[in-house]
Amino acid sequence: MSDERDFGTEARSNRDRPAQTQLDILKVLEQCGIHLDSWNHYIRQQEDALKKEPT
Distance CA 42, CA 35 (A): 11
- Looking at residue 31, the DSSP 8-state letter turns out to be H
pLDDT confidence of residue 43 = 94
pLDDT confidence of residue 14 = 57
pLDDT confidence of residue 1 = 47
CB 14 within 8 A of CB 20: no
List, run by run, the mean pLDDT of 10-residue segments along the chain (55 residues): 52 62 85 93 94 79
CB 30 within 8 A of CB 37: no
pLDDT confidence of residue 15 = 64
pLDDT confidence of residue 23 = 81
